[in-house]
Structure 1
Amino acid sequence: MRLTFHLTLLLALTMPIVAVAAGCSDSAMTCAEGSQWNADTKRCDPVAS
């Protein structure tokens, strides 16, 4: 019973960390001047002028 409680507590404490980490990869990134973030490829692409 004690082990189940500790495992549940550990899972409850680590789940928000996993959710935040997953959200970071989907957020817009800061790119260098002359490029912009492409959400589809998840990288910085040059801006066509």
Structure 2
Amino acid sequence: MDAESYLYSKVGDQDFIARVDSRTDLTAGTSLELAVNMNKAHFFDPESEIRIR
């Protein structure tokens, strides 16, 4: 279908959304290691929802 999927995850009490290749085969509850490309990361203020980086 599409070239990418969105992976919604939680680390501790922090929510993360990652864009991954659509061929990634994961199911709910799967544990995995994530690596973050900081050159492509976006951070938002939780109150204003304005991008801070």
What interval of TM-score do these two structures reach, taking the shorter chain for normalisation? Answer: under 0.3
Structure with the largest fraction of strand: 2
Q: TM-score, normalised by structure 1?
A: 0.23
Using CA pairs below 8 Å that are at least 6 residues apart, which structure has the higher relative contact order? Answer: 2
